[in-house]
Structure 1
Amino acid sequence: MRVSRRILVAAALAVLAAAPARAAEPVLVFAAASLKNALDDATASWTKETGKTARISYAGSNALAKQIEAGAPAEVFISADQAWMDYAEKGGSLKPGSRFDFLRNALVLIAPAAGTGNADPQFALAPDLGSRLAKLLGGGKIAMANTDAVPAGKYGKAALEALGGWDAVKGQVAQAENVRAALLLVARGEAPLGIVYATDAAADPSVRVVATFPADSHPPIVYPAAQTKAGKNPDAAALLGYLRSPAAKPFFERQGFTVIDGPRASQ
Protein backbone atom coordinates (compact mmCIF):
# COMPACT_ATOMS: atom_id res chain seq x y z
CA MET A 1 0.00 0.00 0.00
CA ARG A 2 2.77 2.41 0.95
CA VAL A 3 4.62 1.65 -2.30
CA SER A 4 1.50 2.29 -4.36
CA ARG A 5 0.94 5.59 -2.56
CA ARG A 6 4.51 6.65 -3.23
CA ILE A 7 4.13 5.78 -6.89
CA LEU A 8 0.92 7.85 -7.14
CA VAL A 9 2.55 10.84 -5.47
CA ALA A 10 5.59 10.61 -7.71
CA ALA A 11 3.37 10.37 -10.79
CA ALA A 12 1.38 13.42 -9.72
CA LEU A 13 4.53 15.43 -9.17
CA ALA A 14 5.82 14.39 -12.57
CA VAL A 15 2.60 15.59 -14.22
CA LEU A 16 2.82 18.95 -12.44
CA ALA A 17 6.46 19.37 -13.46
CA ALA A 18 5.64 18.64 -17.07
CA ALA A 19 2.67 21.00 -17.20
CA PRO A 20 3.39 24.41 -18.74
CA ALA A 21 3.79 27.23 -16.24
CA ARG A 22 0.73 29.41 -15.86
CA ALA A 23 1.21 32.69 -17.66
CA ALA A 24 1.64 35.71 -15.39
CA GLU A 25 -1.35 37.99 -15.14
CA PRO A 26 -1.01 41.27 -17.09
CA VAL A 27 -0.31 44.45 -15.17
CA LEU A 28 -3.45 46.61 -15.33
CA VAL A 29 -2.47 50.21 -16.04
CA PHE A 30 -4.79 53.22 -15.86
CA ALA A 31 -3.21 55.96 -17.98
CA ALA A 32 -4.07 59.42 -19.28
CA ALA A 33 -5.45 59.28 -22.83
CA SER A 34 -2.60 61.40 -24.21
CA LEU A 35 -0.12 58.60 -23.41
CA LYS A 36 -1.62 56.04 -25.77
CA ASN A 37 0.88 55.93 -28.63
CA ALA A 38 4.02 56.15 -26.54
CA LEU A 39 2.84 53.85 -23.76
CA ASP A 40 1.55 51.22 -26.19
CA ASP A 41 4.99 51.12 -27.84
CA ALA A 42 6.88 51.07 -24.56
CA THR A 43 4.84 48.27 -23.00
CA ALA A 44 5.08 46.23 -26.22
CA SER A 45 8.85 46.51 -25.95
CA TRP A 46 8.70 45.43 -22.28
CA THR A 47 6.67 42.40 -23.29
CA LYS A 48 9.17 41.50 -26.00
CA GLU A 49 12.07 41.74 -23.54
CA THR A 50 10.49 40.03 -20.55
CA GLY A 51 7.50 38.01 -21.73
CA LYS A 52 5.37 39.90 -19.21
CA THR A 53 2.34 41.85 -20.35
CA ALA A 54 0.37 44.98 -19.53
CA ARG A 55 -3.28 45.81 -20.13
CA ILE A 56 -3.93 49.54 -20.41
CA SER A 57 -7.13 51.50 -19.88
CA TYR A 58 -6.93 55.04 -21.33
CA ALA A 59 -9.23 57.88 -20.29
CA GLY A 60 -9.20 61.32 -18.71
CA SER A 61 -7.14 61.38 -15.51
CA ASN A 62 -10.17 62.54 -13.54
CA ALA A 63 -12.24 59.53 -14.59
CA LEU A 64 -9.39 57.12 -13.87
CA ALA A 65 -8.69 58.54 -10.41
CA LYS A 66 -12.36 58.22 -9.46
CA GLN A 67 -12.53 54.67 -10.83
CA ILE A 68 -9.53 53.70 -8.71
CA GLU A 69 -11.16 55.33 -5.69
CA ALA A 70 -14.28 53.27 -6.36
CA GLY A 71 -12.28 50.04 -6.31
CA ALA A 72 -11.28 49.47 -9.95
CA PRO A 73 -8.46 46.87 -9.98
CA ALA A 74 -5.75 49.08 -11.47
CA GLU A 75 -2.18 48.37 -10.38
CA VAL A 76 -0.48 51.39 -11.97
CA PHE A 77 -1.86 54.91 -12.39
CA ILE A 78 -0.29 57.52 -14.68
CA SER A 79 -2.00 60.92 -14.53
CA ALA A 80 -1.63 63.93 -16.82
CA ASP A 81 -1.46 66.29 -13.87
CA GLN A 82 -0.47 66.43 -10.23
CA ALA A 83 -3.96 67.32 -9.01
CA TRP A 84 -5.58 63.97 -9.83
CA MET A 85 -2.59 62.04 -8.51
CA ASP A 86 -2.89 64.13 -5.32
CA TYR A 87 -6.57 63.16 -5.22
CA ALA A 88 -5.69 59.47 -5.42
CA GLU A 89 -2.94 59.81 -2.84
CA LYS A 90 -5.05 61.74 -0.33
CA GLY A 91 -7.76 59.13 -0.73
CA GLY A 92 -5.33 56.39 0.24
CA SER A 93 -5.33 54.76 -3.21
CA LEU A 94 -1.57 54.79 -3.83
CA LYS A 95 1.18 52.50 -2.59
CA PRO A 96 3.29 54.65 -0.24
CA GLY A 97 6.63 55.67 -1.69
CA SER A 98 5.85 54.55 -5.24
CA ARG A 99 4.90 57.94 -6.70
CA PHE A 100 7.30 59.81 -8.98
CA ASP A 101 7.23 62.53 -11.65
CA PHE A 102 7.53 60.77 -14.99
CA LEU A 103 7.01 63.05 -18.01
CA ARG A 104 6.53 66.64 -19.17
CA ASN A 105 4.47 67.92 -22.09
CA ALA A 106 3.56 71.15 -23.91
CA LEU A 107 0.24 72.70 -24.95
CA VAL A 108 -0.59 73.65 -28.54
CA LEU A 109 -3.33 75.20 -30.65
CA ILE A 110 -4.22 72.97 -33.61
CA ALA A 111 -6.26 73.11 -36.82
CA PRO A 112 -7.16 70.48 -39.44
CA ALA A 113 -4.19 69.64 -41.66
CA ALA A 114 -6.30 69.42 -44.80
CA GLY A 115 -6.64 72.99 -46.07
CA THR A 116 -5.75 76.09 -44.14
CA GLY A 117 -9.36 77.19 -43.61
CA ASN A 118 -9.48 80.33 -41.52
CA ALA A 119 -6.42 79.39 -39.48
CA ASP A 120 -3.26 81.39 -39.99
CA PRO A 121 -0.22 79.03 -39.99
CA GLN A 122 1.82 81.85 -38.45
CA PHE A 123 -0.77 82.62 -35.76
CA ALA A 124 0.86 84.25 -32.74
CA LEU A 125 -0.45 84.08 -29.22
CA ALA A 126 -0.14 87.82 -28.80
CA PRO A 127 -2.29 90.69 -27.47
CA ASP A 128 -5.90 90.82 -28.67
CA LEU A 129 -5.92 87.01 -28.70
CA GLY A 130 -9.63 86.70 -27.92
CA SER A 131 -10.91 88.67 -30.88
CA ARG A 132 -8.48 87.00 -33.26
CA LEU A 133 -9.43 83.53 -32.06
CA ALA A 134 -13.11 84.37 -32.43
CA LYS A 135 -12.43 85.52 -35.98
CA LEU A 136 -10.58 82.31 -36.82
CA LEU A 137 -13.38 80.22 -35.40
CA GLY A 138 -15.87 81.97 -37.66
CA GLY A 139 -18.81 80.79 -35.58
CA GLY A 140 -17.34 77.29 -35.18
CA LYS A 141 -16.15 75.58 -32.02
CA ILE A 142 -12.78 75.29 -30.34
CA ALA A 143 -12.31 71.69 -29.19
CA MET A 144 -10.96 71.18 -25.69
CA ALA A 145 -11.04 68.47 -23.07
CA ASN A 146 -13.46 69.22 -20.24
CA THR A 147 -12.17 72.49 -18.80
CA ASP A 148 -13.39 71.81 -15.26
CA ALA A 149 -11.99 68.32 -14.73
CA VAL A 150 -9.67 66.94 -17.43
CA PRO A 151 -6.04 68.11 -17.12
CA ALA A 152 -5.66 69.16 -20.78
CA GLY A 153 -8.84 71.21 -20.56
CA LYS A 154 -7.77 72.85 -17.31
CA TYR A 155 -4.37 73.71 -18.75
CA GLY A 156 -6.01 75.11 -21.89
CA LYS A 157 -8.44 77.27 -19.96
CA ALA A 158 -5.63 78.57 -17.74
CA ALA A 159 -3.54 79.46 -20.80
CA LEU A 160 -6.39 81.29 -22.50
CA GLU A 161 -7.15 83.18 -19.31
CA ALA A 162 -3.52 84.17 -18.89
CA LEU A 163 -3.34 85.41 -22.47
CA GLY A 164 -6.65 87.26 -22.38
CA GLY A 165 -8.56 85.01 -24.77
CA TRP A 166 -10.91 82.98 -22.58
CA ASP A 167 -13.83 85.39 -22.28
CA ALA A 168 -14.06 85.78 -26.05
CA VAL A 169 -14.27 82.04 -26.81
CA LYS A 170 -15.74 80.37 -23.70
CA GLY A 171 -19.17 80.24 -25.33
CA GLN A 172 -17.71 78.42 -28.34
CA VAL A 173 -15.90 75.60 -26.54
CA ALA A 174 -16.75 72.04 -27.61
CA GLN A 175 -15.89 70.13 -24.44
CA ALA A 176 -14.76 66.53 -24.87
CA GLU A 177 -14.38 63.77 -22.30
CA ASN A 178 -10.61 63.59 -22.81
CA VAL A 179 -7.88 65.19 -24.87
CA ARG A 180 -7.88 62.49 -27.58
CA ALA A 181 -11.60 63.09 -28.12
CA ALA A 182 -10.86 66.80 -28.57
CA LEU A 183 -8.10 65.92 -31.02
CA LEU A 184 -10.53 63.78 -33.01
CA LEU A 185 -12.99 66.66 -33.40
CA VAL A 186 -10.30 68.72 -35.12
CA ALA A 187 -8.91 65.80 -37.13
CA ARG A 188 -12.39 65.16 -38.56
CA GLY A 189 -12.87 68.83 -39.39
CA GLU A 190 -15.76 69.13 -36.95
CA ALA A 191 -13.96 71.95 -35.12
CA PRO A 192 -11.73 74.51 -36.86
CA LEU A 193 -9.44 74.83 -33.83
CA GLY A 194 -8.51 72.80 -30.77
CA ILE A 195 -6.22 72.85 -27.77
CA VAL A 196 -4.34 69.63 -27.06
CA TYR A 197 -0.91 68.47 -25.95
CA ALA A 198 1.99 68.70 -28.37
CA THR A 199 2.27 64.91 -28.21
CA ASP A 200 -1.33 64.49 -29.37
CA ALA A 201 -0.71 66.71 -32.38
CA ALA A 202 2.41 64.69 -33.20
CA ALA A 203 0.40 61.46 -33.10
CA ASP A 204 -2.18 62.51 -35.71
CA PRO A 205 -1.18 63.68 -39.21
CA SER A 206 -4.72 64.95 -39.76
CA VAL A 207 -3.96 68.04 -37.66
CA ARG A 208 -1.30 70.73 -37.70
CA VAL A 209 0.08 72.91 -34.96
CA VAL A 210 -0.95 76.54 -35.33
CA ALA A 211 0.83 77.85 -32.22
CA THR A 212 2.47 76.64 -29.02
CA PHE A 213 1.32 78.16 -25.74
CA PRO A 214 4.07 79.72 -23.61
CA ALA A 215 5.07 77.44 -20.75
CA ASP A 216 4.39 80.22 -18.25
CA SER A 217 0.79 80.67 -19.41
CA HIS A 218 -0.38 77.54 -17.58
CA PRO A 219 0.74 75.30 -14.70
CA PRO A 220 3.64 72.96 -15.53
CA ILE A 221 2.39 69.91 -17.42
CA VAL A 222 3.80 67.03 -15.42
CA TYR A 223 2.71 63.38 -15.56
CA PRO A 224 3.19 61.58 -12.23
CA ALA A 225 3.02 57.79 -11.97
CA ALA A 226 2.52 55.41 -9.06
CA GLN A 227 1.48 51.94 -8.03
CA THR A 228 -1.91 51.58 -6.43
CA LYS A 229 -2.24 50.41 -2.83
CA ALA A 230 -4.71 47.68 -3.77
CA GLY A 231 -2.58 46.31 -6.62
CA LYS A 232 -1.26 42.79 -6.03
CA ASN A 233 0.67 42.09 -9.23
CA PRO A 234 4.40 41.80 -8.42
CA ASP A 235 5.23 42.87 -11.98
CA ALA A 236 3.80 46.39 -11.47
CA ALA A 237 7.05 47.73 -9.95
CA ALA A 238 9.08 46.06 -12.69
CA LEU A 239 6.96 47.71 -15.37
CA LEU A 240 7.37 51.16 -13.83
CA GLY A 241 11.09 50.54 -13.55
CA TYR A 242 11.24 49.69 -17.25
CA LEU A 243 9.23 52.76 -18.23
CA ARG A 244 11.80 54.95 -16.43
CA SER A 245 14.76 53.13 -17.96
CA PRO A 246 16.92 54.27 -20.91
CA ALA A 247 15.39 51.45 -22.97
CA ALA A 248 11.92 53.03 -22.82
CA LYS A 249 12.95 56.68 -23.08
CA PRO A 250 12.95 56.85 -26.93
CA PHE A 251 9.32 55.71 -27.13
CA PHE A 252 8.23 58.77 -25.16
CA GLU A 253 10.66 61.24 -26.70
CA ARG A 254 9.57 60.17 -30.19
CA GLN A 255 6.06 61.40 -29.37
CA GLY A 256 7.36 64.68 -27.97
CA PHE A 257 7.37 63.97 -24.24
CA THR A 258 10.24 65.06 -22.03
CA VAL A 259 11.26 62.23 -19.72
CA ILE A 260 12.02 63.35 -16.18
CA ASP A 261 15.19 61.59 -15.13
CA GLY A 262 15.24 59.95 -11.73
CA PRO A 263 15.97 56.70 -9.94
CA ARG A 264 14.13 53.65 -11.18
CA ALA A 265 11.21 52.24 -9.30
CA SER A 266 12.07 49.28 -7.12
CA GLN A 267 12.09 45.96 -8.91
Structure 2
Amino acid sequence: MEKLFLSLLLVFGPGLVAKAHAAEKVTVFAAASMQDVVEEAARAFSGREGVEVTFSFAASSVLAKQIEAGAPASIFISADEDWMNYLEERKLISAASRRVIAGNALVIAMQAGEKRGEAADILRAGRFAMGDPSNVPAGKYGKAALEKLGLWTEVEKNAVFAENVRVALQYVNRGEANAAIVYASDLAAAPGLTEAYRFPASSHAPILYPAALIGEGTAEARTFLDFLSGFQGQAIIRAKGFVPAAEAAN
Protein backbone atom coordinates (compact mmCIF):
# COMPACT_ATOMS: atom_id res chain seq x y z
CA MET A 1 0.00 0.00 0.00
CA GLU A 2 2.81 2.39 0.90
CA LYS A 3 4.52 1.66 -2.42
CA LEU A 4 1.25 2.36 -4.25
CA PHE A 5 0.90 5.70 -2.44
CA LEU A 6 4.45 6.67 -3.34
CA SER A 7 3.87 5.70 -6.97
CA LEU A 8 0.73 7.85 -7.13
CA LEU A 9 2.59 10.75 -5.55
CA LEU A 10 5.33 10.48 -8.15
CA VAL A 11 2.78 10.39 -10.95
CA PHE A 12 0.40 13.10 -9.72
CA GLY A 13 2.64 15.12 -7.45
CA PRO A 14 3.92 17.54 -10.15
CA GLY A 15 0.36 18.20 -11.25
CA LEU A 16 -0.70 18.93 -7.71
CA VAL A 17 2.20 21.33 -7.29
CA ALA A 18 1.32 23.03 -10.58
CA LYS A 19 -2.29 23.44 -9.44
CA ALA A 20 -1.17 24.95 -6.16
CA HIS A 21 1.04 27.38 -8.03
CA ALA A 22 -1.76 28.28 -10.44
CA ALA A 23 -4.06 29.03 -7.50
CA GLU A 24 -1.67 31.75 -6.40
CA LYS A 25 -1.85 33.66 -9.69
CA VAL A 26 -3.73 36.95 -9.66
CA THR A 27 -5.40 38.05 -12.90
CA VAL A 28 -6.23 41.75 -13.11
CA PHE A 29 -8.73 43.10 -15.63
CA ALA A 30 -8.05 46.84 -15.73
CA ALA A 31 -9.14 49.86 -17.76
CA ALA A 32 -6.62 50.66 -20.51
CA SER A 33 -5.68 53.92 -18.81
CA MET A 34 -4.40 51.95 -15.79
CA GLN A 35 -1.92 49.87 -17.78
CA ASP A 36 1.29 51.56 -16.59
CA VAL A 37 0.15 51.52 -12.96
CA VAL A 38 -0.87 47.87 -12.95
CA GLU A 39 2.25 46.66 -14.73
CA GLU A 40 4.59 48.44 -12.32
CA ALA A 41 2.55 47.45 -9.28
CA ALA A 42 2.55 43.84 -10.46
CA ARG A 43 6.34 43.81 -10.72
CA ALA A 44 6.75 45.29 -7.25
CA PHE A 45 4.14 42.99 -5.71
CA SER A 46 5.50 39.84 -7.36
CA GLY A 47 9.00 40.70 -6.19
CA ARG A 48 7.76 41.15 -2.62
CA GLU A 49 5.20 38.36 -2.35
CA GLY A 50 6.41 35.84 -4.93
CA VAL A 51 2.92 35.77 -6.48
CA GLU A 52 2.46 35.88 -10.25
CA VAL A 53 0.23 38.70 -11.50
CA THR A 54 -1.15 38.68 -15.03
CA PHE A 55 -3.34 41.34 -16.59
CA SER A 56 -5.70 42.26 -19.40
CA PHE A 57 -6.31 45.85 -20.48
CA ALA A 58 -9.24 47.22 -22.50
CA ALA A 59 -12.17 49.58 -22.18
CA SER A 60 -14.02 49.10 -18.89
CA SER A 61 -17.18 48.14 -20.77
CA VAL A 62 -15.40 45.39 -22.68
CA LEU A 63 -13.82 43.96 -19.55
CA ALA A 64 -17.07 44.07 -17.58
CA LYS A 65 -18.88 42.14 -20.31
CA GLN A 66 -16.03 39.59 -20.43
CA ILE A 67 -16.28 39.09 -16.68
CA GLU A 68 -20.04 38.72 -16.99
CA ALA A 69 -19.42 36.04 -19.61
CA GLY A 70 -17.19 34.11 -17.21
CA ALA A 71 -13.67 35.34 -18.00
CA PRO A 72 -11.28 34.20 -15.23
CA ALA A 73 -10.46 37.54 -13.63
CA SER A 74 -9.41 37.97 -9.99
CA ILE A 75 -9.72 41.77 -9.77
CA PHE A 76 -11.55 44.38 -11.85
CA ILE A 77 -10.35 47.99 -12.02
CA SER A 78 -12.83 50.23 -13.82
CA ALA A 79 -12.31 53.73 -15.20
CA ASP A 80 -15.70 54.77 -13.83
CA GLU A 81 -18.30 53.76 -11.27
CA ASP A 82 -20.92 52.75 -13.84
CA TRP A 83 -19.26 49.55 -15.04
CA MET A 84 -18.37 48.51 -11.50
CA ASN A 85 -22.02 49.10 -10.59
CA TYR A 86 -22.95 46.92 -13.57
CA LEU A 87 -21.04 43.97 -12.12
CA GLU A 88 -22.16 44.62 -8.55
CA GLU A 89 -25.81 44.62 -9.61
CA ARG A 90 -25.19 41.17 -11.09
CA LYS A 91 -23.47 40.04 -7.89
CA LEU A 92 -20.23 39.29 -9.73
CA ILE A 93 -17.93 41.26 -7.42
CA SER A 94 -17.29 41.31 -3.69
CA ALA A 95 -19.12 44.50 -2.67
CA ALA A 96 -17.22 44.57 0.63
CA SER A 97 -13.89 44.71 -1.22
CA ARG A 98 -14.91 47.57 -3.51
CA ARG A 99 -12.89 50.76 -3.11
CA VAL A 100 -11.62 53.77 -5.07
CA ILE A 101 -7.89 53.43 -5.72
CA ALA A 102 -7.26 56.54 -7.87
CA GLY A 103 -8.64 59.63 -9.53
CA ASN A 104 -7.79 61.47 -12.74
CA ALA A 105 -8.18 64.69 -14.75
CA LEU A 106 -9.41 65.22 -18.31
CA VAL A 107 -7.19 67.03 -20.82
CA ILE A 108 -6.75 67.73 -24.52
CA ALA A 109 -3.49 66.30 -25.89
CA MET A 110 -1.70 67.62 -28.98
CA GLN A 111 1.68 67.22 -30.62
CA ALA A 112 4.54 68.80 -28.67
CA GLY A 113 5.14 72.38 -29.78
CA GLU A 114 1.46 73.17 -30.22
CA LYS A 115 0.25 76.14 -28.23
CA ARG A 116 -2.16 75.87 -25.32
CA GLY A 117 -5.57 77.32 -26.04
CA GLU A 118 -9.25 77.12 -25.29
CA ALA A 119 -11.10 73.87 -25.94
CA ALA A 120 -13.39 75.57 -28.44
CA ASP A 121 -10.53 76.81 -30.61
CA ILE A 122 -8.70 73.47 -30.57
CA LEU A 123 -11.68 71.27 -31.33
CA ARG A 124 -13.17 73.53 -34.00
CA ALA A 125 -9.89 73.45 -35.93
CA GLY A 126 -10.13 69.86 -37.17
CA ARG A 127 -10.48 66.20 -36.33
CA PHE A 128 -10.00 65.16 -32.73
CA ALA A 129 -10.04 61.72 -31.14
CA MET A 130 -11.83 60.61 -27.99
CA GLY A 131 -13.18 57.45 -26.42
CA ASP A 132 -16.53 56.31 -27.75
CA PRO A 133 -19.07 58.04 -25.44
CA SER A 134 -21.45 55.10 -25.76
CA ASN A 135 -19.21 52.74 -23.79
CA VAL A 136 -15.76 54.22 -22.97
CA PRO A 137 -15.61 56.11 -19.64
CA ALA A 138 -13.14 58.72 -20.95
CA GLY A 139 -15.51 59.35 -23.84
CA LYS A 140 -18.46 59.79 -21.48
CA TYR A 141 -16.53 62.26 -19.37
CA GLY A 142 -15.38 64.08 -22.51
CA LYS A 143 -18.87 64.38 -23.97
CA ALA A 144 -20.26 65.53 -20.61
CA ALA A 145 -17.55 68.20 -20.34
CA LEU A 146 -18.19 69.46 -23.85
CA GLU A 147 -21.92 69.57 -23.23
CA LYS A 148 -21.32 71.49 -20.01
CA LEU A 149 -19.18 73.98 -21.93
CA GLY A 150 -21.83 74.28 -24.66
CA LEU A 151 -19.55 72.84 -27.36
CA TRP A 152 -20.73 69.30 -28.06
CA THR A 153 -23.32 70.05 -30.74
CA GLU A 154 -20.85 72.24 -32.60
CA VAL A 155 -17.76 69.99 -32.52
CA GLU A 156 -19.30 66.51 -32.53
CA LYS A 157 -18.85 66.33 -36.31
CA ASN A 158 -15.05 66.54 -35.85
CA ALA A 159 -14.88 63.70 -33.33
CA VAL A 160 -13.24 60.36 -34.15
CA PHE A 161 -14.37 57.74 -31.65
CA ALA A 162 -11.78 55.26 -30.36
CA GLU A 163 -12.14 52.03 -28.41
CA ASN A 164 -10.06 53.41 -25.53
CA VAL A 165 -7.86 56.37 -24.61
CA ARG A 166 -4.62 54.74 -25.72
CA VAL A 167 -6.00 54.36 -29.23
CA ALA A 168 -7.13 58.01 -29.19
CA LEU A 169 -3.55 59.07 -28.43
CA GLN A 170 -2.26 56.90 -31.28
CA TYR A 171 -4.43 58.87 -33.71
CA VAL A 172 -2.61 62.06 -32.66
CA ASN A 173 0.81 60.40 -32.75
CA ARG A 174 0.16 59.24 -36.31
CA GLY A 175 -1.19 62.62 -37.41
CA GLU A 176 -4.65 61.20 -38.07
CA ALA A 177 -6.20 63.65 -35.59
CA ASN A 178 -5.12 67.10 -34.45
CA ALA A 179 -5.93 66.45 -30.81
CA ALA A 180 -7.34 63.89 -28.39
CA ILE A 181 -9.44 64.15 -25.26
CA VAL A 182 -7.76 61.82 -22.77
CA TYR A 183 -6.87 61.37 -19.14
CA ALA A 184 -3.95 63.35 -17.73
CA SER A 185 -2.30 60.07 -16.72
CA ASP A 186 -2.32 58.80 -20.31
CA LEU A 187 -0.72 61.98 -21.52
CA ALA A 188 1.98 61.62 -18.86
CA ALA A 189 2.93 58.30 -20.49
CA ALA A 190 2.92 59.67 -24.06
CA PRO A 191 6.27 61.22 -25.02
CA GLY A 192 6.00 63.71 -27.86
CA LEU A 193 2.54 64.91 -26.86
CA THR A 194 1.67 67.86 -24.66
CA GLU A 195 -1.27 69.15 -22.64
CA ALA A 196 -3.01 71.88 -24.63
CA TYR A 197 -6.05 72.26 -22.38
CA ARG A 198 -7.31 70.91 -19.04
CA PHE A 199 -11.07 70.67 -18.51
CA PRO A 200 -12.36 72.26 -15.32
CA ALA A 201 -13.22 69.65 -12.69
CA SER A 202 -16.68 71.22 -12.52
CA SER A 203 -17.38 70.33 -16.16
CA HIS A 204 -17.73 66.60 -15.52
CA ALA A 205 -18.34 64.09 -12.75
CA PRO A 206 -15.31 63.15 -10.64
CA ILE A 207 -13.08 60.69 -12.51
CA LEU A 208 -12.68 57.80 -10.11
CA TYR A 209 -11.19 54.32 -10.49
CA PRO A 210 -13.01 51.75 -8.36
CA ALA A 211 -11.46 48.31 -7.87
CA ALA A 212 -12.96 45.12 -6.47
CA LEU A 213 -12.46 41.39 -6.17
CA ILE A 214 -14.34 39.17 -8.59
CA GLY A 215 -16.51 36.80 -6.59
CA GLU A 216 -15.21 36.29 -3.08
CA GLY A 217 -11.60 36.49 -4.25
CA THR A 218 -8.52 34.53 -3.24
CA ALA A 219 -6.15 35.49 -0.45
CA GLU A 220 -3.57 36.49 -3.05
CA ALA A 221 -6.03 38.72 -4.91
CA ARG A 222 -7.03 40.41 -1.64
CA THR A 223 -3.40 41.04 -0.83
CA PHE A 224 -2.76 42.62 -4.23
CA LEU A 225 -5.84 44.82 -3.91
CA ASP A 226 -4.60 45.94 -0.50
CA PHE A 227 -1.18 46.60 -2.06
CA LEU A 228 -2.76 48.96 -4.61
CA SER A 229 -4.57 50.79 -1.81
CA GLY A 230 -1.50 50.94 0.42
CA PHE A 231 1.47 53.27 0.59
CA GLN A 232 3.56 51.65 -2.15
CA GLY A 233 0.68 51.21 -4.56
CA GLN A 234 -0.52 54.77 -4.04
CA ALA A 235 3.02 56.07 -4.62
CA ILE A 236 3.04 54.29 -8.00
CA ILE A 237 -0.38 55.77 -8.80
CA ARG A 238 0.86 59.29 -8.09
CA ALA A 239 4.07 58.77 -10.08
CA LYS A 240 2.05 57.71 -13.13
CA GLY A 241 0.05 60.95 -13.22
CA PHE A 242 -3.04 59.82 -11.32
CA VAL A 243 -4.55 61.38 -8.22
CA PRO A 244 -4.14 59.12 -5.15
CA ALA A 245 -7.33 57.76 -3.63
CA ALA A 246 -7.28 59.97 -0.54
CA GLU A 247 -7.15 63.12 -2.69
CA ALA A 248 -9.63 61.85 -5.27
CA ALA A 249 -12.23 61.34 -2.57
CA ASN A 250 -12.14 65.03 -1.58
Scaled by the length of structure 1, the TM-score of the pair is 0.84
Q: Does 1:205 align with 2:191?
A: yes
Deviation at 1:206, TM superposition (A): 2.4
Deviation at 1:57, TM superposition (A): 0.6
Deviation at 1:149, TM superposition (A): 1.2
Task: Name stretches of at least 5 consecutive residues in structure 2 with no aligned partner.
Answer: none
Deviation at 1:47, TM superposition (A): 0.6
Residue-by-residue CA offset, 1:197-227 (whole Å, 9 max, x unaligned): 0000000112111011000100100000001
User: Which of residues 222, 237, 240 is equivalent to 1:237?
Assistant: 222
* Aligned positions of 1:106-255 closer than 5 A: 106-113=105-112, 115-116=113-114, 121-125=115-119, 129=120, 132-137=121-126, 141-229=127-215, 233-255=218-240
Q: CA RMSD in A?
A: 2.3
Deviation at 1:159, TM superposition (A): 0.6
- Cα distance in 2 for partners of 1:78, 1:192 equals 30
Counterpart of 2:90? 91
Question: Per the alignment, in what secondary structure is the counterpart of residue 247 of structure 1?
Answer: helix
Counterpart of 1:40? 39
Counterpart of 1:102? 101
- Cα distance in 1 for partners of 2:123, 2:109 equals 14
Contact 1:108 1:195 in 2 (8 A): yes
Contact 2:123 2:179 in 1 (8 A): no
Deviation at 1:122, TM superposition (A): 2.7
Which of the pair has more CA radius of gyration? 1
Q: 1:61 to 1:37 in 2, by over 3 A?
A: same
Bigger Cα displacement from structure 2, 78-87 vs 242-251: 242-251
Deviation at 1:96, TM superposition (A): 3.3
- Cα distance in 2 for partners of 1:258, 1:215 equals 13
Question: Per the alignment, in what secondary structure is the counterpart of residue 248 of structure 1?
Answer: helix
Task: Name stretches of at least 5 consecutive residues in structure 1 with no aligned partner.
Answer: 263-267
Counterpart of 2:69? 70
The amino acid that maps onto 2:239 is R
Counterpart of 2:56? 57
Q: How many residue pairs get matched?
A: 242
Percent of matched pairs sharing the same residue: 40
Question: Per the alignment, in what secondary structure is the counterpart of residue 154 of structure 1?
Answer: helix
Residue-by-residue CA offset, 1:46-93 (whole Å, 9 max, x unaligned): 011111011111000011111111111111100000011111111111
Deviation at 1:10, TM superposition (A): 8.2
Contact 1:144 1:179 in 2 (8 A): yes
- Cα distance in 2 for partners of 1:184, 1:236 equals 32
Q: 1:245 to 1:232 in 2, by over 3 A?
A: closer
Scaled by the length of structure 2, the TM-score of the pair is 0.89
- Which protein is richer in helix relative to its size? 2
Deviation at 1:29, TM superposition (A): 1.0
Q: 1:97 to 1:163 in 2, by over 3 A?
A: same
The amino acid that maps onto 1:142 is F
Contact 1:77 1:225 in 2 (8 A): yes
Question: Per the alignment, in what secondary structure is the counterpart of residue 232 of structure 2?
Answer: coil
- Cα distance in 2 for partners of 1:176, 1:48 equals 35
